[in-house]
Amino acid sequence: MAQFLGVSPATRSAPQASHSYACSIVNLLQRDLDDLIRQKTEVRRRVRRLSRILREQSSLTQLRARGRALHAPKFRQISTKIGRPKARKSERLHFELTRACRIAFMDAGGIATPDQICSSIERRGSFSFIDLNEKPIDLVIRILKFMAETGEAKCAASDPHSPWTYKATVLG
């Protein structure tokens, strides 16, 4: 192996040969390490890019599926009346309030009334009802009905103000 690295044992003394041999090995290992670090950086960059693309696709797919499942004709009517930017804002608010309701459900142990959900949302600050035209309780009830249509929540009685049960869903 010493001849492979260009070190001739006959021409050098033992300490010089072993030092030169060790330096050659260190240099080879350092080059390999540098290559591996470059490859790791490239792999991480690709993984971040793919993760971002998957998150965007997943979010769009979920929003589209929920939009079709709930009030599809009404959504088309809204998007033509108020324009695309306001429709996007409406979708975003719907998504954020749905998320806030899920958090409130989990905070309450999976069973809560719309009033309890509103209180939890306001207490945690997970959604702001400021500048919205409807009462917070009405918005939460609408989201709960949407969640019931998608099988994510269930009302204990016919009265929407009665307790609701959250059914955790697994996306897959």
Query: For the chain, which residues make up each domain, given as ranges?
Result: 16-69, 93-166
Q: How many CB atoms lie within 10 A of CB 114?
A: 24
Q: Which of 34-43, 54-63, 138-147 has the lowest mean pLDDT?
A: 54-63
Predicted confidence band at 112 (pLDDT cuts at 50, 70, 90)? very high
Residues 6+ apart with CB under 8 A from 44: none
CB 2 within 8 A of CB 21: yes
Q: Bridge-partner residues for 112, per DSSP?
A: 164
Predicted local distance difference test score (pLDDT) of residue 75? 43
Single-letter amino acid, residue 53: I
d(C-alpha 74, C-alpha 35), whole Å = 56
Q: In the predicted model, what is the mean pLDDT of residues 100-115?
A: 92
Residues 6+ apart with CB under 8 A from 168: 110
Q: In the predicted model, what is the mean pLDDT of residues 76-99?
A: 71
d(C-alpha 5, C-alpha 31), whole Å = 15
Asked if pLDDT for residue 155 goes beyond 60, the answer is yes
Predicted confidence band at 50 (pLDDT cuts at 50, 70, 90)? confident
CATH node for 93-166:
1.10.10
Tell which residue, 91, 90, 119, has the closest CA to residue 104: 119
- Phi then psi for residue 5, to 5 deg, are -85, 5
Q: Is the pTM of this model over 0.85?
A: no
Quickly tell me which residue has 């690295």 as its tokens: 5
